[in-house]
Amino acid sequence: MVKAVVGANWGDEGKGKITDMMADQADVVVRFQGGANAGHTIVNKYGKFALHTLPSGVFHQNITNIIGNGVALNIPVLIGELKAVTDQNVPTPNLLISDRCQIVMPYHILFDQYEEERLGGKSFGSTKSGIAPFYSDKYAKIGFQVNELFDEELLKEKVERVLVTKNILLKELYHKPEIDPTELLETLHEWRDMVKPYVADTALFLEKANKEGKTILLEGQLGTMKDPDHGIYPMVTSSSTLAAYGAIGAGIAPYEIKQIVVVNKAYSSAVGAGAFTSEIFGEEADELRRRGGDGGEYGATTGRPRRMGWYDCVASKYGCRLQGATDVAFTVLDVLGYLEEIPVCVGYEINGEVTKDFPVTHLLEKAKPVYETLPGWNCDIRGIKKYEDLPENCRKYIEFIEKEIGYPITMVSNGPAREDIIYRESALSK
């Protein structure tokens, strides 16, 4: 059986914890898109980890962890991350890398940095990890697949051919030093040796595992709002963040995905630029940011303070719909225990009219939040294991949001640890 764990909103929803928890019942965990430009924070018996490329199943010795063909693979970052995990006494994970996976080249990171500098105040808020230039090259058909590292003649010819255009751009557009093809080739030889033990035909491996009745977990990065087609374009990432893309980015048939768990925060947060209707500012935002997440709301990759906002029913309903949610995992609910009252965005006012449907970007930028205020529960809910033991106002908050978004909230996270999870029966599941 194939399951997917994806984000409903802007990313940073708590997917790492949910994936880590669901991995207890999985045999294979697959990263299917994105690169090292975002991260998943996981807290377990080994400590606290921010994973950027490694799948969240690496803490389970019975699991095969796969970097799928849809991933933007930064080889030194991956190998460094693998070492950082094992240095904290985690047993060496079982890891496979798709031979069709494409590589983030050193110049992708340079071009990302140089373009943000060139754009100045009109920049996209990139993490400068090389992701946009990587995907641009992938679809321009001048990217490098992992398997090409093992064909010396092909590699040498391709490096020289691709660097012709790259060096013209470096010299004429960015006024930066050109890249030496010999030096780049040496770097790629080093990277080849780093990944050699892990390279495999992972799509074939997954087909075999599925036929054997193994449980395969697809792990997404970021969330619906960052999808290049259905998100807040152009302030999006460069690969599809939707569960549907899991079939492509892992190399499996789309009809094999039977469960889609959409992770959804009990409030809103975002890293980077772009429309964010329920955003809050000042002391109100600072307090929520300080209390939020696990040790504060700061980017797992960038360390940047996240933009904060109240729960957005319009964006979340849209996010769940595009992901095809069968289940919603409602995270960091415990964070809101300090509030006497909790605003919830239930609609957008655009040009004097209120809508509950998520609009295209140019209208979204005009949207003003329409709030409904709910009573808080004003206490700590960590440690509670049964849904019925949650404070009444806490349960009302969950049930109000479930009704607004129209998708079943079957998991409630009330703390950072794997065991801090409450399972609930939803009437919408029946």
DSSP code of residue 187: H
Residue 176 DSSP SS3: coil
Task: Quote the CA–CA distance of 196 and 425 in Å, as a whole number.
Answer: 46
Contact 243, 4 (CB under 8 A): yes
Where is 200: in which H helix or E strand?
Answer: strand 199-200
Task: Quote the CA–CA distance of 396 and 386 in Å, as a whole number.
Answer: 15
Active-site residue, from 12, 227, 327, 334: 12
40 part of the active site? yes
Active-site residue, from 27, 40, 52, 137: 40
Task: Quote the CA–CA distance of 2 and 253 in Å, as a whole number.
Answer: 10
Cis-peptide into 228, omega within 30 deg: no
Task: Quote the CA–CA distance of 2 and 249 in Å, as a whole number.
Answer: 13
327 part of the active site? no
Where is 148: in which H helix or E strand?
Answer: none
Report residue 331 CA to chain centroid gap.
15
Task: Quote the CA–CA distance of 229 and 248 in Å, as a whole number.
Answer: 16
DSSP per-residue codes, 361-399:
HHHHTT-EEEEEEEE---S--TT--SGGGS-HHHHHHHH
CA-only gyration radius of the chain, Å: 22
Number of Cβ within a 10 Å radius of residue 36: 25
What angle separates helix 243-250 from helix 202-211, to the nearest 10 degrees? Answer: 110
Catalytic residues: 12, 40
